[in-house]
A and B are shown apart, each in its own frame.
Chain A
């Protein structure tokens, strides 16, 4: 995979994030460049979601700094799109797929204004980019988990973001939807977006991402997948629960 060398989009400078007094994640240091996909990996409770929230400016950075597009995270939100885990959303909510995707345009539309023709077109194009244009009229909750995840990605694409942040988008997602998600994400990076994605799938991080940030309450590595996803660093981060399998692959025994 060719290495894109865009300008820095997200810069973590020895950032420590804390809720109250206890540090949730310590000394994260690294850069996500425009056009890159960086995977956040680590065991459950490692602080992947916390780091995502830091990029979104939703949690306090107590020392060091997080800079998004040369600004404080909270000030960059209009150019950052967030894709939550689909199963955190109420499947009974009476809302259509098209309505969900249109939400990606809300910030651009602004207060008090209804969505216009251009917004509907952008939403339709975004939905087509994830291959679900034929489901536009269906209720969001009727779709499968993977399809709902794709709709949420379409919503983010409709916002035309410079930075895309995804929280565990591949969890419980079928192969078709995973390919669709990856394809749409690559389309975005090809247009210069920086992408941060948290995942449990080390293989996917290795194969499909330009960089990996390995976490467990602190940073264990931040760099190219081959440099970070080594048996030693993985064993350190996963607390000895990592087992080697072949020369590249790894199996993780959850304690």
Chain B
């Protein structure tokens, strides 16, 4: 067991994959708490899909090196656009997001379908290929992680107030649209950082699942943040190990990015189940002196 968790990562390409995955796990776990508190899962999903054509165009223009710049341009545009949509409050936000999401995604698929290696490329863009990340990818992810840390620490209290009581924040004189733009840009950057490793589709799971699991385990924001970050890292490591062990030891090929996501979802399922059991037990024998809610 211990062998399975540590031995593979002595190979350079797996070591790089591990560093990238664990960094992403921490980054997504922490930023995911913001997504959870602001209930932005759908917006995050929309950003991941709108990034897709940027990834494709970047790849078509200058190969692998073009992916991150392409994704970055699209993500920044999408985040700005979505902030503006939310700020006007005139249009139905959900519908507008859905239209943009599908439109951008459609553009991406049309572009990629013109390529000869269509399905292989599509799979890579959508689901990533963490085993081929290079040191540049790791540096991008590292930079975004540092930036996310700075934003979450520096603007943490304002983002918290905005998430909890938007009207109160507005009354106190905070510019909601500006705060939202910062938050949305942060999500967009996380998506960009994750594109190489887990693809545009799976990053939503890495953002949402650890935070949701942590929320089940605690009511305390600090604890939720710590647990989500830790869970993101743990899930990345375990997922990568399981994926590698399955393919090497048992000849079963498991996509690394998807395995990480499945490990995270399994954690969520276990915690949910555990809580249901605990609640059932409490109902059977309520502790003395406890007042039911």
Contact = CB atoms under 8 A, between A and B. Distances in A.
Nearest to B171: A82
B37 A88 contact: no
Interface size class of B (residues with CB under 8 A): 20 to 34
B157 interface: yes
Interface of B: 37, 154-155, 157-158, 160-161, 163-165, 167-168, 170-173, 215, 218-221, 224, 293
Contacts of B218: 94
Given A88-B167, A142-B293, 8 more contacts: A56-B170, A82-B171, A89-B165, A94-B220, A103-B164, A106-B157, A106-B172, A111-B158
Contact of B171 (A77, A88, A94, A100): A77
A74 interface: yes
A115 interface: yes
Nearest to B293: A142
A192 B215 CA distance: 43
A58 B171 contact: yes
B215 to A, nearest CB: 7
The 10 A-B pairs of least Cβ separation, nearest first, read A82-B171, A77-B173, A56-B171, A139-B219, A112-B154, A94-B219, A103-B161, A94-B221, A93-B164, A84-B167
B176 to A, nearest CB: 11
Contact of B221 (A82, A95, A109): A95
Q: Is the interface of A mostly helix, strand, loop or mixed?
A: mixed
Interface of A: 56, 58, 74, 77-78, 80, 82, 84, 88-90, 93-96, 99-100, 103, 106-107, 109, 111-112, 114-115, 139, 142, 165
Contact of A94 (B158, B161, B167, B224): B224
Contacts of B219: 94, 96, 139
A95 B215 contact: no
Q: Is the interface of B mostly helix, strand, loop or mixed?
A: helix
B171 A103 contact: no
A111 B151 CA distance: 11
Nearest to A104: B172
A139 B163 CA distance: 16
A100 B169 CA distance: 12
A90 B163 CA distance: 10
A165 B171 CA distance: 10
A104 B160 CA distance: 12
Given A95-B160, A142-B293, A78 B173 contact: yes
A100 B164 contact: yes
A95 B219 CA distance: 7
A61 B45 CA distance: 39
Contacts of A106: 157-158, 161, 172
A41 to B, nearest CB: 21
Nearest to A142: B293
Given A74-B173, A112-B154, A96 B220 contact: yes
Nearest to A155: B168
B165 A103 contact: yes
Contact of A95 (B164, B172, B173): B164
Contacts of A77: 171-173
22 contacts: A56-B170, A58-B171, A74-B173, A77-B171, A82-B167, A82-B172, A84-B165, A93-B37, A93-B163, A94-B37, A94-B218, A95-B160, A95-B164, A95-B221, A96-B219, A99-B160, A100-B164, A103-B157, A106-B172, A111-B155, A139-B219, A165-B171
A111 B158 CA distance: 8
Contacts of B161: 103, 106
A84 B172 contact: no
A153 to B, nearest CB: 12
A10 to B, nearest CB: 14
Contacts of A100: 164
A84 B220 CA distance: 23
B161 to A, nearest CB: 5
A114 B293 CA distance: 34
Contacts of A165: 171
A58 B169 CA distance: 11
Nearest to B224: A94
A94 B160 contact: no
A115 B220 CA distance: 18
Contacts of B157: 103, 106, 109, 114-115
